[in-house]
Amino acid sequence: MHSCSALKHLLLLSALATAPLLRADDWPQWLGPQRDSVWREAGIVEKFPEGGPKVRWRVPVNPGFSGPAVAGGRVFVTDHKVAKGAKVNEEDPFDLSVVAGTERVLCLDEATGKAIWQHEYDAAYGVSYNTGPRATPVVSGGRVFTLGTEGHLLCLDAKDGKVVWWRQFKKDFGVKTPLWGFAAHPLLDGDKLICLVGGNGTVAVAFHKDTGKELWRALTAKQPGYAPPAIIEAGGRRQLIIWHAEALNGLDPETGRVFWSIPASIRSAVSITMPRQLGDLLYVTSFYNGSLMVKLDAQRPGAEVLWATKKISEKDTTHLNALMTTPFLEAGHLYGVCNHGQFRCLEAATGRRVWEDRAMVTKGEELESANAFIVKNGSRFFLCAENGDLIIATLSPTGVKELSRTKLLAPTLSYQGRDVVWSHPAFANGHVIARNDKELVSVDLRK
């Protein structure tokens, strides 16, 4: 009995010792803590329980495309409300009539969903798809940074929502709102908050995170595009990657000095997906132009085209023509969703198509602009499909295999005869937190 009791005691001590090693992570920005679409927590479900995972809370929100950010026990999300009596032409997404309304930054308790504070400001929309804000908040050092559809850049105190500083891109830089709004998720790098602004010499602008003061400006293009800035390491230097509608560029993140630039004219300015690095390779993809893979110089900051899609086409696609799905790259391959829902795997070094799956995202239908968000956890992936399904799957050069599927949210945005969810979720502290145009939901994914 004594030895049995001692063994139990040792097992208990062992469990207590290893418990803190089970990772619990916030999701403080677009694509997670390291901005790489990897969820590093352990102890996550292998398969969804019958009847679906437990919903922790649901709270109503206004419409928006922006994903939530989770940090310090709080959830931050932005949305938009049309002014009372304002007319919205829901039949024509390209009607650019100005619609009065307000944008809001909402802070909720992560455990309960209870509202802690909100900050609201006037934001009249004159854009295509005027649902709501596009960019996911960035949370760091007790501050939350948000970017609205019409170029309102805010720094708020995360504790109480008080304004620390704010900028207005159109007023401060004399630029026009892009067709689909300001959408590139801001990048926090040291003391710099780096944003796509647009215009002559100000496509990329770095602001001091504490004051909003401009630190540097760089690049010129007729259209800034919508792609989030990214930081990589290559050629012995940290490099800031800016992909606008005319070129893929490598910059010095400290000064904005351009290291290199590869011309890439993107039809309809749909440079949207975030550039992704795999060793000495850097990849971007767009709806019409398809894929561009560049090889990074190993000795100094520089790059050259390795391979690229030659044919500009909406339907006859060769490699990967993604609209919104930022692809995932690992082990010599890339995975992504092509422009009509085809889930594809390509060989990174050559662009050779390894496989295609038409069932995972659209269940076999050919749907324009079909989308799924790809997040890795351990050896598996969580795919958030545009129909509101959350899928656990494995991805490898041998194929894609669905392990489990559940309904996470109802799709609420109408697009070409179907309803979709186009907002990136957050995976934080054992839960997935996701939104549509009506509600924000927290769902328990712990074992």
Contact 357, 342 (CB under 8 A): yes
How high is the pLDDT of residue 247? 98
Rounded to an integer, what distance in angstroms lies between the CA atom of residue 390 and that of residue 377?
Answer: 13
Tokens of 233: 């390491």
d(CA 165, CA 157): 10
| pLDDT above 80 (res 281) | yes
**For the chain, what is the mean pLDDT?**
94
Residue for token pair 């086409």? 313
* Mean pLDDT score, 296-314: 97
AA identity, residue 62: N
Place of tokens 């989770």: 70
- Cα separations in angstroms, 103 against 123, 133, 204, 299, 316: 6, 8, 24, 46, 39
Phi and psi of 6, rounded to 5°?
A: -65, -40
Domain boundaries, the chain: 23-174+428-447, 332-421
Q: How far is CA 22 from CA 109, 354, 372, 433, in A?
A: 23, 35, 28, 20
Q: What is the CATH number of domain 332-421?
A: 2.40.10.480
Beta carbons of 253 and 238 less than 8 angstroms apart:
yes
Neighbours of 417 (CB within 10 A): 7
Candidate from 5-9, 138-142, 262-266, 338-342 with smallest mean pLDDT:
5-9
Over its C-alpha atoms, the chain yields an Rg (Å, rounded) of 22
Q: Are 181 and 134 contacting, i.e. CB atoms less than 8 angstroms apart?
A: yes
Q: Express each pLDDT in 160-180 by its tens digit.
A: 999 999 999 999 999 999 999
pLDDT band, residue 90 (cuts 50/70/90):
confident
Rounded CA separation 295/309 (Å): 15
Q: What is the pLDDT at residue 22? A: 57
Give the range among 72-81, 87-96, 324-333, 435-444 with minimum mean pLDDT: 87-96
Task: Please check whether residue 277 is in contact with residue 243, taking contact to mean a CB–CB distance below 8 angstroms.
Answer: no
The phi and psi torsions of 197 (rounded to 5 degrees) equal -105, -45
Given a cut of 60, whether residue 231 has pLDDT beyond it is: yes
| Element (DSSP H or E) covering residue 14 | helix 2-18
Q: With 80 as the cut, is the pLDDT of residue 283 above it?
A: yes
pLDDT confidence of residue 419: 95
CB 33 within 8 A of CB 438: no
Interatomic CA distance for residues 336 and 320, integer angstroms:
7
Cross-strand bridge partners of residue 132: none
* Gap between the Cα atoms of 92 and 96, Å rounded: 9
Q: Which residue has the tokens 């609205």?
A: 148
From the CB of residue 287, how many other CB atoms can be counted at a distance below 10 Å? 25
232 Cβ contact list (under 8 Å, min separation 6):
238, 239, 241, 275, 277, 282, 296
Q: Which fold has domain 23-174+428-447?
A: Thrombin, subunit H (2.40.10)
pLDDT for the residue numbered 95: 86
Taking the C-alpha atoms of residue 64 and residue 81, their distance in angstroms, rounded to an integer, is: 9
Identify the three-state secondary structure at position 274.
coil
Note the pLDDT tens digit of each residue in 112-171. 999 999 999 999 999 999 999 999 999 999 999 999 999 999 999 999 999 999 999 999
Least confident among 19-23, 207-211, 214-218: 19-23
Whole-number pLDDT of residue 3: 47
Q: Do domains 23-174+428-447 and 332-421 have the same CATH topology?
A: yes
Note whether 129 and 180 are within 8 A (CB).
Answer: yes
Question: What are 195's two structure tokens?
Answer: 């944003």
Residue 322 near residue 273 (C-beta atoms within 8 A): yes
> Using 50, 70 and 90 to split pLDDT, how confident is the model at 257?
very high
The percentage of residues in the chain with a pLDDT greater than 90, rounded to a whole number, is: 91
Residue 363 makes CB contacts below 8 A (sequence gap 6+) with: none
Q: What is the DSSP string of 20-31?
A: GGS----B-STT
Q: Tabulate helix, strand, coil % of the chain (nearest 5).
A: 5, 45, 50
pLDDT in tens, 419-442: 999 999 999 999 999 999 999 999
The pLDDT-based confidence of 5 (bands split at 50, 70, 90) is low
pLDDT confidence of residue 94: 85
Q: How many CA atoms lie within 13 A of 233 on its CB side?
A: 1
pLDDT band at 91 (very low <50, low <70, confident <90, very high): confident
Quote the pTM value.
Answer: 0.94
